[in-house]
Amino acid sequence: MTDCIFCKIARGEIPSKKVYEDEHVFAFHDINPIAPVHFLIIPKAHLPSLYECEAGHEAALGRMLSVAGRLAREQGATDGFRTIINTGRVGRQEVYHVHIHIVGGPDVLPGMLKR
């Protein structure tokens, strides 16, 4: 995808505050943070949403989760954090390139969604 903003960030064509990079994933600070720690982990290869995931994406999807805790701790979320993946219209997804939000910081998170 040439016109996807997160593809461009992963390729370094749009500047970002990089947190981490390896062969599968790229992580960077959210431009509009909702908490003291708020960064995104994305697969380097374009993937619009969880709806499009297949077995071939498992290496990147697994890596996104396996680095999350270490990166969260390094960014200062040492006492817990929340992982959020918004999908589609109902999930209020804004950027159609899969991303995990890592949100944390000292005592900033409300409880889970209201029942």
CA distance 93 to 49: 9
Kindly write out the interface string for residues 24-63 of this chain, putting x where it contacts ligand AMP by CB under 6 A and - elsewhere: ----x-xxx-------------------------------
> Which of ligand AMP, Zn ion, none interacts with 86 (beta carbon under 5 to 8 A by kind)?
ligand AMP
Shortest spacing between CB 66 and ligand AMP, in angstroms: 20
**Between residues 60 and 100, which has the closer beta carbon with respect to ligand AMP?**
100
Q: What is the 3-state secondary structure (H, E, C) of 67-84?
A: CHHHHHHHCCCCCCEEEE
Residues near Zn ion, by CB under 5 A: 1, 4, 6-7, 46, 97
Cβ within 8 Å of residue 47, ≥6 positions away: 53, 57, 60, 97, 98
